[in-house]
Amino acid sequence: MRAQGGGPGGQPARGRGIRLGLGGTLVVLVLSVLFGQDFFSVLNVASGGGSTASSVQPQPAATTAEEEALVDFVSFVLDDLQSTWTELLPRYGGRYQDAQLVLFRHAIESACGFSRAATGPFYCPGDANVYVDLSFFQELSRRFGAPGDFAQAYVIAHEIGHHVQNLTGTEAEVRRTQRNSPDSRNRLSVLMELQADCYAGVWGHTTARRELLDPGDIDEGLRAAAAIGDDRLQRQTGGYVNPDSFTHGTSAQRVEWLRRGLQSGDPTQCDTFAGVD
């Protein structure tokens, strides 16, 4: 995937960048102390949630080339995702508001509670933040066999898909139904996750249209979706599969809905809840 300047339709990407609230600022401060490098400069952030320019500033000498490249790429993907949804959502009666991205190591406290890196990337509707431990991208490649920059982009796009669900009211409606009908909790969770996969594909469709993809990028994304299906993860960790405990969908389902978004580029084709009582 080519990290070029410019938003949807060839328009310049607006200054969004990575913005941190108080909690995120503390995390970055701790990282700077632990790793002996200025992560505020690396991420080009401002405390208190103020917006910043999206470009990544020159990196401190102590920062590794791998970290520089990854943070730069994550920043580009976030900017492009948010520019895309800002343009796209009003066509379907919605209005996009920026999410915030918090990069962390090991553990983090969010409005959704305390989470460890083992949880994987997640979106918290309570603070509209996407939380990503950068080590997950190494896990995605080494443990799950899904390398590549578009595989990484898919993960971020999936979490922004949850943000879209929050903005459109889908998230609140699903949580309300889950509270009223506990037996539906897992089934509705799967449908939420599959819709977020489809939304990730909608964004992927726009990157293909704007010729930002390299040969093989789509396959990278589909491999990543397959790698983190519930059935594959359960078989990998426990040796058996329990469909009743699924929360994200099977590998085949995740690939199907990501592909549907990639092919259509239309959020209305992502209604995983159609026909659900």
Q: What is the pTM of this model?
A: 0.77
Helices (H), 36-64: 39-43
CA distance 7 to 187: 36
Residue 31: partners with Cβ closer than 8 Å, 6 or more residues away: 39, 104, 105
How many angstroms from the chain centroid is the CA of residue 58?
25
At residue 56, the pLDDT reads 30
CA distance 48 to 133: 21
- The pLDDT tens digits of the residues spanning 211-267 come to 988 888 888 889 888 888 998 888 888 788 998 889 999 999 999 999 999 999 999
Q: What does each of the 277 residues of the chain score in pLDDT, given as a tens digit?
A: 755 543 333 333 333 434 444 344 344 444 444 444 444 444 444 333 333 333 233 333 345 677 778 888 888 999 999 999 999 999 999 999 999 998 887 888 999 999 888 788 899 999 999 998 877 877 777 766 666 788 889 999 999 999 999 999 999 999 999 999 999 999 999 999 999 999 999 999 999 999 988 888 888 889 888 888 998 888 888 788 998 889 999 999 999 999 999 999 999 999 999 966 5
**CA-to-CA dists, residue 33 to 22, 28, 121, angstroms:** 17, 9, 23
**CA-to-CA dists, residue 193 to 31, 45, 116, 160, 210, angstroms:** 30, 29, 20, 11, 26
Query: Side-chain half-sphere of 233: how many Cα atoms within 13 Å?
Result: 19
At residue 49, the pLDDT reads 35
Residue 61: partners with Cβ closer than 8 Å, 6 or more residues away: none
CA distance 266 to 91: 10
CA angle (98, 102, 107) in 5-degree steps: 150
**CA-to-CA dists, residue 34 to 28, 29, 105, 224, angstroms:** 10, 9, 10, 31
At residue 2, the pLDDT reads 59
E strand or H helix that includes residue 175: helix 170-180
At residue 26, the pLDDT reads 43
